Structure 1
């Protein structure tokens, strides 16, 4: 992949063809929302632990909710300002197969916010969900079009493509299930599983060819997402599913996890960037699935606690490294 025609080489994380001396707002990547998505996933896992009578978890989730909300709100505000003052840069990202996929993190963050803040009887959350799903559809259409017509450069075939095609449908189904629309949630669940099946062979075959281009190696964490999110979505839509059924989803997660970890010597040798937040939501979702399996299947409690502590530790590390980049003025580097 690294030896392709330079015309096919893509600047994945910070915009294609942007002026090197552009303002930091113009260079603000949609990938920034991976932070909010991961934090919302972690908040959900701690709230699930609190609901299952782990008292300490209630204090942690109460502590997390305000900084998570503030980071998400600030990210939305900044990207709205980017849309207002640099619409051409936003459109360049939209037309870019990988940048456009990363833009799907914006509606995904909105859907996860709905899950966390919904209140019974308030129709505004359903309206917000439908708007987020519509935005995800707009983002997904050009990605699907480029894939279906064979125009996707091989070095653009990365796990980031899962975000609009699979992530939007699965997290949308999870959101509709949480809002008590299980039928529509099941429809989106099926759509997400279909998209996952269609993409998996293409993405895995590309990954098996050799190392990804350095710029996108941090985003390999997205490869962990489909099985864990699909299992969590199923658990949300069908609360009567037994623990054994969820264990099947955990088993499906083992293959991608091994596939990512055996490639550690490739993705750990690139400089830290916000792309590494790709690991955050899959690990947080895995912790939630573990907690659900413990609750429904009678597994030992320590298994769920261990998964939650692991996800929290990784996300704390990502947060620290991100704050260091921000303090150094390198969070949105020049190309």
Structure 2
């Protein structure tokens, strides 16, 4: 594909960067609790995630002012549009953490993000119902506007004391997990394989049971019981599916789209850490192993991304955000 020029917007899939950083912070939060580490350890990762979120929003806004391609056109794109949900989703995660020290500001950010996610999800689902999305354009990112947003909203709402809202969001997330996952499975079986730039979005399929489990724990205050056990079993199965997909991932050229791997596996790490925490020895081992594993994954993706940007031509796509040919042509 041709390089992105100053007349084009930054691809929305770059929003996976702060999403992955927030997932890393969430995994460290779970591990720090089990290991008895000071909260400041996890707070460092949350600050990094917040900086990445703000920086990415600013980059998109600044570029938007300079180009002729309207944001609405990008949101209508069948591949790019659903990824926009990551802005409010990360806002929910950051708001829930902020509420621990600044309750009013944190709660306001969570509620504003939930409202924004609701509007975006309603608009996108209405477009899908009007037949404005084709089966060939569907990918793992289609889980973001309803499933990820709903389940993250459930957890965030519970953390700021809005339990009723949390249960409502949990119902939305679980319903659309069943519906969208089934639709994606049919698409992946019946339609030709995803193009290389979208292949990393298959990693998102592992996230719903883990994120749903974290939401259930936040809503009920318990990491035990049949619901948690069932979601843990589904998580393990989907991790096994991801392991079987490793040959496919290895054949996929590295791109900024690889950030799609980070949050799903961070959610898995955080959830399994919570589930195994009650076991004295196993819980500690799981906390250490999950924190190290997800930090290694995110660190590798971050370093590889910086190398990719460094290899790009000077001035190309502002800080090299288009250095990888990961984007889907917006006018395709």
Scaled by the length of structure 2, the TM-score of the pair is 0.86
Give the conservation status (yes or no) of the 8 Å contact 2:157–2:163: yes
Deviation, structure 1 residue 120: 5.8
Give the conservation status (yes or no) of the 8 Å contact 1:101–1:163: yes
Q: 2:260 aligns with which of 274, 278, 282?
A: 278
Unaligned segments of structure 1, at least 5 residues: 1-10, 12-18
The equivalent residue for 1:220 is 202
Give the conservation status (yes or no) of the 8 Å contact 2:22–2:45: no
Counting only pairs closer than 5 Å after superposition, residues 191-210 of structure 1 correspond to structure 2 as 191-209=172-190
Cα distance in 1 for partners of 2:305, 2:151 equals 28
Give the conservation status (yes or no) of the 8 Å contact 1:227–1:250: yes
Deviation, structure 1 residue 322: 1.0
Task: Describe the SS at the equivalent of 2:69.
Answer: helix
Q: 2:306 aligns with which of 316, 323, 331?
A: 323
Cα distance in 2 for partners of 1:239, 1:21 equals 47
* 1:305 and 2:282 aligned: no
- How many residue pairs get aligned? The number is 316
Task: Describe the SS at the equivalent of 2:62.
Answer: helix
Counting only pairs closer than 5 Å after superposition, residues 255-266 of structure 1 correspond to structure 2 as 255-266=237-248
The equivalent residue for 1:22 is 5
The equivalent residue for 2:315 is none
Q: 2:114 aligns with which of 126, 133, 137?
A: 133
Q: 2:141 aligns with which of 149, 155, 160?
A: 160
Taking a change above 3 Å as real, the CA distance of residues 141 and 245 of structure 1, as seen in their structure-2 partners, is closer
Deviation, structure 1 residue 235: 0.9
Q: Root-mean-square deviation (CA), in Å? A: 2.5
Deviation, structure 1 residue 245: 4.0
Taking a change above 3 Å as real, the CA distance of residues 146 and 90 of structure 1, as seen in their structure-2 partners, is same
Cα distance in 1 for partners of 2:187, 2:49 equals 35
Task: Describe the SS at the equivalent of 1:98.
Answer: coil
Give the conservation status (yes or no) of the 8 Å contact 2:34–2:287: no
Moved over 4 A (4+): 57-60
Cα distance in 2 for partners of 1:225, 1:100 equals 20
Deviates more, 1:222-231 or 1:146-155: 146-155
Deviation, structure 1 residue 298: 5.4
* 1:100 and 2:81 aligned: yes
Cα distance in 2 for partners of 1:176, 1:130 equals 8
Task: Describe the SS at the equivalent of 1:97.
Answer: coil
Unaligned segments of structure 2, at least 5 residues: 313-319
Deviates more, 1:305-314 or 1:86-95: 86-95
The equivalent residue for 2:215 is 233
The equivalent residue for 1:37 is 19
Q: Deviations over 1:19-57 (max 9, x none)?
A: 966318x331222221111111111221222223443x7
Cα distance in 2 for partners of 1:215, 1:242 equals 39
Cα distance in 1 for partners of 2:245, 2:268 equals 20
Cα distance in 1 for partners of 2:269, 2:231 equals 13
Deviation, structure 1 residue 241: 4.2
Q: 2:167 aligns with which of 174, 182, 186?
A: 186
Give the conservation status (yes or no) of the 8 Å contact 2:97–2:106: no
Give the conservation status (yes or no) of the 8 Å contact 1:244–1:297: no
Taking a change above 3 Å as real, the CA distance of residues 241 and 294 of structure 1, as seen in their structure-2 partners, is closer
Give the conservation status (yes or no) of the 8 Å contact 2:127–2:133: yes
Deviation, structure 1 residue 58: 5.1
